[in-house]
Structure 1
Amino acid sequence: MSVDQASWEAAVRHLYEDAYGYVATGPRRHEDWRIDVVAVMERAVPDPRGWTGFDDDADDPGREKRPAYPFRQPYKADPLRPITPADVGERLWEIDRASAELLLLALTDNGCTLRYLERFTETFEELQGMVRTVLARYGDTCTCHTNVSTGPHTARRTSGRVPRAGRRLPSTGRTAAWSSSPTPRWGCSGHSATSEP
């Protein structure tokens, strides 16, 4: 599925305008994609295509001391210490694309549930189509990750290394790191940071 700028921006805006969120994409420059995700979280890189994401905290004064605000370091860490790629990897679980679609739908609500989708006039299938439009930008081979830690985990922690055979990223590999929370308790508050070549 190919996606154009107008469709992607419209889907992001419609899905997340009533949620507390951050949706941004940055360039993929490093073998260790976690470095690229930190750059996006700190708003240190522009969108490689010039597309407009969604950032509720762009002008928040908390960003003066912590560039990655509202994302936080691990619990008990120095609150002003910059987030590191290792911090990102320690918090994330790889999930399949179908799970990512449901998570992105849940992130349209600050309660991180699907029960509030009724506030939309669109059907579930139409909303799912919008989420697929958002994900289409990153291609069919992107990997998706979350830091939601409630419920069973069949996924594995993310080390930042290229995954084993069967999960290898292509040479133009894109990574979508859907981080659902800036807090160490891993609540669900609708933040995502992604990188692409």
Structure 2
Amino acid sequence: MRSEPAHDPTRGPSSCLDAAIWSAAVEMYRHRYSFIAVGPRTGEDWLPDVAEIMRRKVADPRGWRGKDPEVGEPELLEDPAFPFRVPPVDEEGAAEWRSGLFAIPRHSVKRLLVMLATNEMNVPRQHNFAERRAGMERHAAAILSRFPEGSTFFTNTDHGGENPDFYERVSTCWPLSQYVWDFGLLAVSDDEVALIWSFDAS
């Protein structure tokens, strides 16, 4: 009898993913200076959708939890996108902004999400990582499962080339914020755009 291949819940819409599971996954970032938000994708060019998320102008299409460490902070009164550098609307400026993004394969996303939740965005230096790894990877897989097969993923480092391993120390980035050191995931599906970004404000 031919055996059926094992189901990989991260490769398509998960029937198990709901608001509670998503919220628990977001909680993984509770000790990090991290921004987590999902907005609607409104067109072929998703860059304007990224700008709307950065400016806090759109809500999660599913009404699910996000994370915004700047809520209530005075910086938002002066700059609604703080701490992000919003992509320019002109073609040349937008192209330059995009040049700091690098496509990564789906199989690298889970480790990136885990790395973004570590204390120093540095897995080798994360205290008790061996004990926490399984739980963190479970939460990362839940986040990834929101974005079905065919989604595209970007980050702001070229670490590892076409097959990066984010459990290695990552030493370069192209900041998308006003800080000199940040890392994140930009996920784009047919219907949604997500920013999951962590910052070092030191």
Same fold (TM over 0.5): yes
Note if contact 1:41-1:68 (Cα within 8 Å) is conserved in structure 2: yes
Q: Contact 2:153–2:187 at 8 Å: present in 1 too?
A: no
Residue 93 (structure 2) pairs with residue 84 (structure 1):
no
1:153 aligned residue: 161
Size of the aligned set, in residue pairs, is: 161
- The correspondence of residues 15-30 of structure 1 with structure 2, limited to 5 A, is 15-30=28-43
In structure 2, relative to structure 1, the CA distance for the partners of 1:119 and 1:41 (3 Å cut) is farther
Q: Secondary structure at the match of 1:50?
A: coil
Partner of 2:140: 131
Task: State the secondary structure of the residue aligned to 1:36.
Answer: helix
Structure 2: 5+ residue runs without aligned partners? 1-8, 164-173, 192-202
* Counterpart-to-counterpart distance in 2, 1:61 and 1:194: 29
Give the partner amino acid of 1:188. Answer: D
- Structure 1 distance, partners of 2:127, 2:107, is 20
Contact 1:70-1:182 within 8 A present in 2 as well? yes
Query: Which residue in 1 is equivalent to 2:45?
Result: 32
- Greater gyration radius: 2
1:184: how far off?
Answer: 6.4
Structure 1 Cα separation of the partners of residues 87 and 157 of structure 2: 18
* Deviation (angstroms), 1:55: 0.9
Deviation at residue 140 of structure 1 after TM alignment: 2.6
Provide the rounded CA distance (Å) in 2 between the counterparts of 1:52 and 1:180: 25
Q: Which amino acid aligns with 2:62?
A: R
Aligned to 2:182: 188
1:154 deviation in Å? 3.8
Native 8 Å contact 1:148 1:188 kept in 2: no
Aligned residue identity for 1:51: W
Gaps of 5+ in 1: 73-81, 156-178
Match of 1:100 in 2: 109
Deviation at 1:26, TM superposition (A): 0.3
Give 2:113's aligned amino acid.
L
Residue 121 of structure 1: how far off its partner (Å) = 8.6
Question: Could you tell me whether the CA contact under 8 Å between 2:87 and 2:97 is conserved in 1?
Answer: yes
Asked if 2 retains the 8 angstrom alpha-carbon contact of 1:110 and 1:188, the reply is no
The AA in structure 2 aligned to 1:139 is: P
Cα contact 1:37–1:194 (8 A) shared by 2? no
CA distance in 2 between counterparts of 1:25 and 1:31 reads 17
Structure 2 CA distance for aligned equivalents of residues 184 and 117 of structure 1 = 22
Relative to structure 1, the CA distance from residue 183 to residue 99 in structure 2 (aligned partners, 3 Å threshold; closer, same or farther) is farther
Task: State the Cα distance separating 1:117 from its structure 2 match.
Answer: 4.3
Q: Deviations over 1:52-71 (max 9, x none)?
A: 11111122211222221111
1:55 aligns with one of 48, 54, 68: 68
- What secondary structure sits across from 1:43 in the alignment? coil
The TM-score normalised by the length of structure 1 is 0.70
